[in-house]
Structure 1
């Protein structure tokens, strides 16, 4: 039951990501002019990082809680390990987003 709940939440959040990438990946994308495509791409770049900063820690917590719940119930050790690995992967992606967003500043001494 817990695995199904986590998968439903994950599918819902994947739907949010698809909507955040709108209109790319849809049939309407081919109708965009070059200017509209550049505007939409810039808008998506700015907002994807913000969504990821909220999305991945939430996923890590959800997967972690599910892993602990499955492990405590001792129903399936493999499922508990899988959920734990998903939690670790979510944390890893979150850290990568944080590190990738840092801008290198030039030295103030010149």
Structure 2
């Protein structure tokens, strides 16, 4: 192997090493994001099924989370509530809507 071939081989190995490291870092980042997403979904589902307070997130635990994670969790909760609401019967849906509206606008519903 000549010196020139050896230098080209060394350069090629360095490029492959850098490409491998970029791919590894990207994979680790993706895995971290996926595990956060799974954790958020688990928390939403645990709150949905009504676990005891000891199993739910505490205020200090929520304060440790990033704002973006909290926003994602709220969006998941909204989607879950909307899905449940859509599965209700029409009369139950109307009663629930009236009850919610009476809490939001008590003056207009107390006159009815």
Q: Same fold (TM over 0.5)?
A: no
The higher-RCO structure (CA 8 Å, 6+ apart) is 1
- When normalised by structure 1's length, the TM-score is 0.31
- When normalised by structure 2's length, the TM-score is 0.31
Larger-Rg structure: 2
